[in-house]
Structure 1
Amino acid sequence: MTETGSFGGLSVHLNEPLSHFTFTQTGGPADLLALPTSVGEVQQLLAEARAQALPVTVIGNASNLIVKDGGIRGLVILLTKMTGVTCDGTQLIAEAGARLIDVTEVAYQAGLGGLAFAAGIPGSIGGAVFMNAGAYGGEICDVLASAEVLTRDGQLKTYSNEDMQFAYRHSLVQDTGDIVLRATFALTRQPRPQIRAAMDHFNSLRASKQPLDYPSCGSVFKRPAGHFVGPMIQQSGLQGHIIGGAQISEKHAGFIVNLGGATASDYLAMIHYVQEHVAAKFGVALHPEVRIIGSDVAKG
């Protein structure tokens, strides 16, 4: 970690490279990086940022994220220390920084089914709610009962599933900028062996199809209606293509992996390269599923 300072009475890291946290192992520095451990600390950080008129960026597990090489101005709040998970009957309540992988294990131990589809997704609860994450026929919107959020002006709110306006890889908080603090899931009682079998099945599928042995940001593009991204990239002759340290995975063409030394600019160049070639061959516009944030230019 870089040197630390004080921000609203809380410790923050100064000019911390975000490549230390992203799954692509790329990304420039955050001016200020805070790792709060409670809702109160998030409120405190947000209040101080408002007082100083600083922009605020919130990051979860940084698994489906590209931070540009210029880094992020202002305050970055990383929620990975807010990891509490509890069960209350058939409800499971998880804080925003809890990893889906860990949360699905808690659900299994409690004999609660419905989250097995997420067993191998590397993201956090907050990020999963933010983007309505899904895999193998399941989505967060299928099981979310409510989400507790903090608005940018400091108000605590609770949104129901309906309030969240879920759609494919979309939720209300993408539009409002509200910070997801915790989520409550409505699950069902299931025999533990049945839950474990489903989790093992999905994890086996993931291991057989996805390039888990290299850093990546997961699935890069949203699935266009009536098409599959990987086959289109393959049929465009792009699989294995390399730009800088980034490569279209030879195992799954829908992934871009870091072979070593890749930059965020390499990733962005590859995304644009794929978009151009697939549009030329199929007339299909590919839109990133991965969240792309930050500045193209380093802090002066």
Structure 2
Amino acid sequence: MTPESYEDAVAGMLDLATTWDALAFRCGDATPKFSQCAVEAKALPTSIEVPVQLTRAIAGDAVSYVSAASQHLRALATLLGPEIVLTGWSVIRATAEYCGRVNWLLNPGATPTDRVARFYMERIVSIHMTRMATDKIGQKQASKQYKQKRQQVLNEARQVFRDITLFDNDGPNGWVVGDQPYASLSSAVNTFGKEQLNADGLYDMLSGFTHPSLIRLGAQTTTVRLEDRLHHAFVADPGVLRWQFALACACVYRAAHLVTSYLGMDATPLEEWADHHSALLSWSSHASNGT
């Protein structure tokens, strides 16, 4: 990767983040009647008092996740030296994890009721995991407050789903709301990769580079023999950098499209970004370098 192409890639990542910021602001506009968000609201059970508020809340959570993912693009763009070799993988994995949640919430294949079940599951698990963390570090008052908040959301969910199965095992991976089992981080990212990026095992690959692995470290270092020792240094392969940047952008781009599609928004800004930065959407051509 030449200095010029590197600078172009960094500029493209920042441009995508800025493009999303503008779209996220427009997500607060009134929901068009033809949008999937509005149409699904009319198909929800009558037990939901204001269904359009609920479908808007689902979209709002997805918007928050895409915004978090776009912030990771900005973080990736600041890694200019040897630190990108290892840290870049962690930033990209977090980006994919946020986008995986968006795909789980807004997946076009989900029914309106399925989507509501996933919405409640996502919120319940989020509160539950935060409550567990605060409890383990001794913040008992905060833990109690999160438990109360979790119960409040659970009560809301039971107005729609009577057969909720929670807290019967050690973790949320076996929990069910309606007939929707919780999608773990690995499951959601792998599904997102397969459905949106035509990539199998995305989480498994990223996990391999972000957990301690002598094999993965060895593949990202050079070794030089000195007089009395071996000197190891991290090295940034240009092909890997291209792949990392493109994958991160592809994740945000596809997740952003899920949001704009659900809300019936004009996605022209995303397409204009893609026209100007097509190299950042050809991540699959660099997959062999990345893996």
Q: TM-score of the superposition, structure 1-length normalised?
A: 0.29
Q: Which has the larger radius of gyration?
A: 2
Higher relative contact order (CA 8 A, sep 6+): 2
